Amino acid sequence: MPTSRSYRDSCGIARALDVVGERWALLVVRELLLEPQRFSELRHALPNISSNLLADRLRELEHRGVIRRRPAATERAQAYELTEWGRKLEPMLAALGEWGIDAPEPPAPAALSASSVLIFLRGAARPDPAAEPTTCRLELDGRVWTVRMASGRVAVEPGEPATAAASLRADPKTFSALLTDPATLPTARDDGSATVVGDVSAIDRLLRSVSEPWSAGEQRPAEVRSL
């Protein structure tokens, strides 16, 4: 059942936790940062939550003004999206992800969603700002994303690109591993865990924009820091 528990504390931190402090609430918000999603898509992205608990969290977040429902683009089912107020959680989630990287890894098998890896990519990638703008197509977990490298940044949008220099298909964990070590791309292609069509060097540049950021002031990360 949805909860109405409160800390009964006037501090802004406590009031925020009254809204999004329940278990799974912030992970639902994370999954909606890049695009609206249907219930079934959220259930797939968060495999360790029960359907009943997910329904409770969605009702709570909608009631409290963090998310809202809208007609899905291709089906009668409704999709969930962040409200303007809910979207203000994005920088706080990014900071929480950075802080959490020092926490212990969860026991295997651990889930990793496409949204988590793509949010990390968008925040951590530092391609050469002098390089020609490049668009890549990513297919993760059967969903397609347009990724653009331009002006030293990477932008991520849902859907098919009009044109793309290259396309990469993989599962989120394989893509995460490739961001950590782009040199493993040939092996991933050979064993079938990753498929590349088009300009392989474009995909390599995308991967290395995280593991080998352009700016001399940025340190190479020891591992992918997914939210």
Select the CATH number that applies to the domain covering 12-99 from these four: 1.10.150.240, 1.10.10.10, 3.40.50.300, 1.20.1740.10: 1.10.10.10
CATH 1.10.10.10 intervals, the chain? 12-99
Q: How many CA atoms are closer than 13 Å to the CA of 166, on its beta-carbon side? A: 19
Select the CATH number that applies to the domain covering 114-208 from these four: 3.30.1050.10, 3.20.20.150, 3.30.390.50, 2.30.30.230: 3.30.1050.10
Contacts of 65 (CB under 8 A, 6+ apart): 83, 85, 86
Output the pLDDT for position 5.
82
Output the pLDDT for position 214.
81
Output the pLDDT for position 1.
59
Q: What is the pLDDT along the chain (227 residues), one digit of tens a residue?
A: 566 788 999 999 999 999 999 999 999 999 999 999 999 999 999 999 999 999 999 999 999 999 999 887 666 678 999 999 999 999 999 999 989 988 998 998 899 999 999 999 999 999 999 999 999 999 999 999 999 999 999 999 999 999 999 999 999 999 999 999 999 999 999 999 999 999 999 999 999 999 888 864 444 444 445 55
Contact by Cβ (8 Å): 38, 75? yes
Output the pLDDT for position 45.
96
